[in-house]
């Protein structure tokens, strides 16, 4: 980028020097013009030296620009500089899932011995995306006994294992940079020293003097960095020792497969029996997918790294809501993350609970020509199995503080529709205009991240930018308000907290907790006079709209412009946006206005403002 | 006297340093340009004479060192890496 080119060549130009050198050579040998060409060794060497020098100057400029996180352009540089702040940029995550395998009927009789053995990390291939998945186990071998009639569960992870090897020097604080190339699974690095597995720690200070451990971080110069100890904190790999590094090269988010029944796998690697005879596992075993691969994520974006690097906690502990937001944001699969606790309210029993309000990045879930209005509504929220995988990722991180628990906040779906009134210029096709408006609004709604309110002026501004639109007005309609008008009543909820004698409550997962306060949530249905309307003091709460007609959102609300509900007259709002008919996005076109020279000038002036 | 007597000392590597990488099996290191950075850019015709080939080889070594210097610049922020480590892309 031009603004980062700080080495100005204005004072001395390489071309000037070369030109002078050529003149000098010409004078010495009495050859000039067409007789002194690049066929001459002198001229050729001069040209190549000049080109290489310019390249090196470019590399110097580039290397210097890349030393500043705000001007750096390459991911290795941004990640490396973020590492200096203590932030460990996510190198990506492999999708993880679970399969079950069992014998095909009668096939166990065709195997010699009492079991078939499958080496851990044997490969499967997905029929859906063609990617490789590895079968994982705590042991080296997965054994399926011939007497086993039930399915056995096997965790799987997307990717391929790649290995590298370096040499221990026997020095304290040995450090190695391993160039990995491409996306790798962040938490899936194993280190062996002379064939013995060494544990991966978060910090040198976590290791005692006899700990066979290593710190693995995203590389300051790309790839991954390994840091060994100094005999006071962690053992030192001996001189000449073989340090083997295994990691999983991953496809990131592309490795995620939906919950569909079409998810099937085939064995790639062979199994073997007690006599080491090989067997094509596809002929002997059948596979059932119990949890399709999910939680795969690409390396974190550079913008995100630049934003979050200064906020890194140095404690490596998931304790505060900010720690949780930082931890989860690295998965690159959320459109919104809100972690919070309720230590500032009167209810003390949940003060150790971190509430997680999570919304998926719907944009990454769109298939083919889907947009905001056509994607299935369940894609706007995480399924229970996905939430289970997120909980597992938090728990498996080993960073969760012992006393804290997490609880997922169930998003409260608030349905809305929007009426858009458009006046357009003559000569523009209404269906084409409708498609353009739909595309703009869909893009906006898929990207929206603010959680307090949704202003209709945003939509107006978007549609005004559509070619052919002269004037636009937008109105939001809330389902709750239409329900109240249709039924003549609305519901309000109230939460009260009162002290009580301590009671032991089962909170699931085999855990109990003592409650000192009683939390009571009551709902009350109130009827109102249609002529007087909903009382002002509860109007915003009931309608979900403020005095501007903008959408108001509570912490757990998710505004959705989708159909499947009735308006005040009992007419059904349909999902698919329509022209002039009640729908999630109704576009009403008024009579087009003539496109004169003056309207064109005015339109151009407005765009130029 | 040999033409090459006492030359190329700058290319010598300490034997002790060789042991530091004797078990290395590394990937993704990029291409080793140090032996052909300049030679590949010049016509083979002008390199047919030994003297010219040696002359080019000396100039090439200067450029290789310059490129390594850029690598050192890149490594400047990698506080824990040896400063003479140059296998960084």
Residue B84 has pLDDT above 60, yes or no: yes
From chain B, pick out residues whose CB is under 8 angstroms from the CB of A66. Answer: 74
Nearest CA in chain B to A194: B23
Cβ pair A49:B28 closer than 8 A: no
CA A281/CA A99 separation, integer angstroms: 14
Q: Is A355 left (phi over 0), alpha (psi -120 to 50) or beta?
A: beta
Residue A195 has pLDDT above 70, yes or no: yes
Query: A117-121, A225-229, A384-388: which range is least confident on average?
Result: A384-388
The separation between CA A275 and the C-alpha centre of its own chain, rounded to angstroms, equals: 46
Q: Is A295 left (phi over 0), alpha (psi -120 to 50) or beta?
A: left
CA B60 to chain A, closest CA, distance in angstroms equals 9
From chain A, pick out residues whose CB is under 8 angstroms from the CB of B79. Answer: 84, 220
Nearest CA in chain A to B68: A56
The residues, any chain, with a CB within 8 Å of residue A101's CB and separated by 6 or more, are: A144, A151, A152, A154, A285, A286, A287, A288
Residue B64's SS3 state is: helix
From chain B, pick out residues whose CB is under 8 angstroms from the CB of A59. Answer: 67, 70
SS3 content of chain B, % helix, strand, coil (to 5): 45, 0, 55
Q: Which of B41, B67, B77 sits opposite A220 (nearest CB)?
A: B77
Residue A126 has pLDDT above 60, yes or no: yes
From chain A, pick out residues whose CB is under 8 angstroms from the CB of B75. Answer: 221
Strand partners, A101: A152, A287
The predicted pLDDT at position A266 comes to: 95
The residues, any chain, with a CB within 8 Å of residue A265's CB and separated by 6 or more, are: A99, A124, A125, A126, A127, A133, A156, A287, A289
Burial class (CB in 10 A: 0-12, 13-18, 19+), A551: buried
Cβ pair B74:A63 closer than 8 A: yes
The predicted pLDDT at position A508 comes to: 67
Among candidate residues A381, A435, A447, the one with its CA nearest the CA of residue A408: A381
A476-496: b (≥16 Cβ within 10 Å) or e: bbbbbbbbbbeeeebeeeeee
User: Any CB–CB contact under 8 A between A73 and chain B?
Assistant: no
Residues B23, B29, B31, B34, CA torsion sign: negative
Nearest CA in chain B to A228: B80
The residues, any chain, with a CB within 8 Å of residue A45's CB and separated by 6 or more, are: B42, B46, B56, B59
The predicted pLDDT at position A86 comes to: 83
- What H or E segment, with its residue span, contains residue A28? helix A14-29
Cβ pair B28:A220 closer than 8 A: no
Angle of helix A479-487 versus helix A536-543 axis, rounded to 10: 120
Q: Which of B23, B30, B42 sits opposite A48 (nearest CB)?
A: B42
A102 backbone dihedrals φ, ψ, rounded to 5°: -150, 170
Number of neighbouring beta carbons within 10 Å of residue A467: 12
CA A387 to chain B, closest CA, distance in angstroms equals 36
Nearest CA in chain A to B25: A165
User: What percent of chain A clears pLDDT 90, i.e. is strictly above it?
Assistant: 40
CA A279/CA A295 separation, integer angstroms: 32
Cβ pair A180:B66 closer than 8 A: no
User: Any CB–CB contact under 8 A between A57 and chain B?
Assistant: no
Strand partners, A245: A164, A191
Strand partners, A338: A357
CA A44/CA A53 separation, integer angstroms: 14
User: Chain A 142-171, CB below 8 Å of chain B: which residues?
Assistant: 162-167, 169
pTM tops 0.90, yes or no? no
Number of neighbouring beta carbons within 10 Å of residue A508: 6
User: Any CB–CB contact under 8 A between A37 and chain B?
Assistant: no
Nearest CA in chain B to A171: B20
Cβ pair A44:B70 closer than 8 A: no
From chain B, pick out residues whose CB is under 8 angstroms from the CB of A164. Answer: 25-27
**Per-residue pLDDT reduced to its tens digit, A2-56:** 455 655 555 566 677 777 777 887 777 776 666 677 778 888 888 888 888 888 8
CA A289/CA A100 separation, integer angstroms: 6
User: Chain A 523-562, CB below 8 Å of chain B: which residues?
Assistant: none
Cβ distance A312 to A81 under 8 Å? no
User: Chain A 237-296, CB below 8 Å of chain B: which residues?
Assistant: 239-243
CA A520/CA A513 separation, integer angstroms: 18
**Per-residue pLDDT reduced to its tens digit, A548-560:** 999 998 888 889 9
Burial class (CB in 10 A: 0-12, 13-18, 19+), A194: middle
Cβ pair B77:A64 closer than 8 A: no
Cβ distance A375 to A366 under 8 Å? yes
From chain B, pick out residues whose CB is under 8 angstroms from the CB of A217. Answer: none
Cβ pair B74:A166 closer than 8 A: no
Cβ pair A45:B29 closer than 8 A: no
Cβ distance A408 to A555 under 8 Å? no
Cβ pair A180:B24 closer than 8 A: no
Question: Most A CBs within 10 Å: which of B27, B33, B37, as the mutation test of the A interface?
Answer: B27
The residues, any chain, with a CB within 8 Å of residue A65's CB and separated by 6 or more, are: A4, A6, A71, A72, A73
Tell me what the pLDDT averaged over chain A comes to: 87
The residues, any chain, with a CB within 8 Å of residue A55's CB and separated by 6 or more, are: none
Burial class (CB in 10 A: 0-12, 13-18, 19+), A327: buried
- A169 pLDDT band, cuts 50/70/90, is very high
CA A373 to chain B, closest CA, distance in angstroms equals 44
CA atoms within 13 Å, Cβ hemisphere of A580: 5
User: Any CB–CB contact under 8 A between A223 and chain B?
Assistant: yes
Query: A198-212, A235-249, B8-22, B74-88: which range is least confident on average?
Result: B74-88
Q: Which is it for strands A469-478 and A412-424: parallel, antiparallel or unpaired? A: antiparallel
Residue A516 has pLDDT above 80, yes or no: no
Comparing B17 with B45, the larger pLDDT belongs to: B45
């Amino acid at each position: 980028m031009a603004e980062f080119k700080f080495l100005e060549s204005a004072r001395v130009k390489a071309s000037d020097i070369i030109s002078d050198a050529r003149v000098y050579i010409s004078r010495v040998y009495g050859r000039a013009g067409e007789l002194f060409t690049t066929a001459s060794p002198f001229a050729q060497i001069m040209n190549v030296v000049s080109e290489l020098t310019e390249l090196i100057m470019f590399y110097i400029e580039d290397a210097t620009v890349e030393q500043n996180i705000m001007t750096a352009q390459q991911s290795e540089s941004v990640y490396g500089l973020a590492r200096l702040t203590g932030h460990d940029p996510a190198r990506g995550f492999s999708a993880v899932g679970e399969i079950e395998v069992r014998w095909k009927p009668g096939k166990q009789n065709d195997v010699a011995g009492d079991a078939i053995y499958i080496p851990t990390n044997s490969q499967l291939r997905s029929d859906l995306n063609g990617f490789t998945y590895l079968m994982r186990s705590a042991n080296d071998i997965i054994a399926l006994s011939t007497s086993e009639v039930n399915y056995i569960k096997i965790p799987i992870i997307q990717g391929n294992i790649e290995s590298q090897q370096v040499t221990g020097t026997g020095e304290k604080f040995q450090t190695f940079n391993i160039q990995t190339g491409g996306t790798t699974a962040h938490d899936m690095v194993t280190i062996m020293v002379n064939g013995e597995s060494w544990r991966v720690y978060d910090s040198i200070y976590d290791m005692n003097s006899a700990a066979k451990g290593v710190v693995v971080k995203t590389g300051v110069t790309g790839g991954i960095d390994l840091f060994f100890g100094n005999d006071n904190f962690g053992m030192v790999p001996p001189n000449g020792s073989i340090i083997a590094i295994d990691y999983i090269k991953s496809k990131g988010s592309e490795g995620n497969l939906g919950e569909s029944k079409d998810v099937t796998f085939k064995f790639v690697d062979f199994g073997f029996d007690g006599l080491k005879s090989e067997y094509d596992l596809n002929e002997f075993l059948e596979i059932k997918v119990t949890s399709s691969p999910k939680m795969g994520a690409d390396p974190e974006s550079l913008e995100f790294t630049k934003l979050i690097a200064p906020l890194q906690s140095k404690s490596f502990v998931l304790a505060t809501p900010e720690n949780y937001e930082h931890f989860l944001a690295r998965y690159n699969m959320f459109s919104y993350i809100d972690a919070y606790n309720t230590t500032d309210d009167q209810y003390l029993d949940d003060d150790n609970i971190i509430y997680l309000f999570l919304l998926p990045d719907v944009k990454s879930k769109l298939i083919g020509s889907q947009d905001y209005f056509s994607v299935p509504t369940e894609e706007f929220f995480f399924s229970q199995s996905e939430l289970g995988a997120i909980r597992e990722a938090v728990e498996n991180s080993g960073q969760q503080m012992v006393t804290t628990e997490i609880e997922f906040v169930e998003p409260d779906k608030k349905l809305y529709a929007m009426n858009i009134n458009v006046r357009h210029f003559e000569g523009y096709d209404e269906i084409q205009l409708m498609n353009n408006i739909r595309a703009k609004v869909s893009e906006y709604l898929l990207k929206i991240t603010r959680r307090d309110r949704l202003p209709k002026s945003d939509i107006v501004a978007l549609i005004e930018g559509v070619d052919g639109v002269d004037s636009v007005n937008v109105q939001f309609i809330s389902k709750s308000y239409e329900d109240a008008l249709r039924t003549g009543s609305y519901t309000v909820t109230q939460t009260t907290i009162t002290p009580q004698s301590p009671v032991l409550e089962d909170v699931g997962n085999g855990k109990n907790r003592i409650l000192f306060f009683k939390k009571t949530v009551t709902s009350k249905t109130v009827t109102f006079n249609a002529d007087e309307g909903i009382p002002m003091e509860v109007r915003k709460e009931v309608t979900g709209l403020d005095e501007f007609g903008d959408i108001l959102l509570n912490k757990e609300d998710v505004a959705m412009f989708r159909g499947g509900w009735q308006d005040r007259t009992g007419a059904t709002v349909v999902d698919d946006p329509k022209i002039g008919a009640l729908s999630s996005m109704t576009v009403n076109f008024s009579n087009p206005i003539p496109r004169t020279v003056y309207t064109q000038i005015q339109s151009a002036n407005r765009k130029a403002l | 006297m040999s033409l090459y007597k006492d030359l190329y000392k700058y290319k010598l590597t300490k034997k002790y340093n060789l042991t530091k990488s004797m078990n290395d099996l590394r990937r993704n290191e990029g291409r080793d340009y140090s032996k052909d950075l300049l030679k590949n850019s010049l016509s083979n015709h002008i390199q047919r004479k030994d003297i010219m080939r040696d002359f080019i080889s000396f100039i090439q070594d200067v450029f290789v060192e310059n490129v390594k210097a850029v690598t050192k610049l890149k490594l400047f922020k990698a506080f824990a890496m040896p400063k003479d480590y140059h296998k960084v892309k």
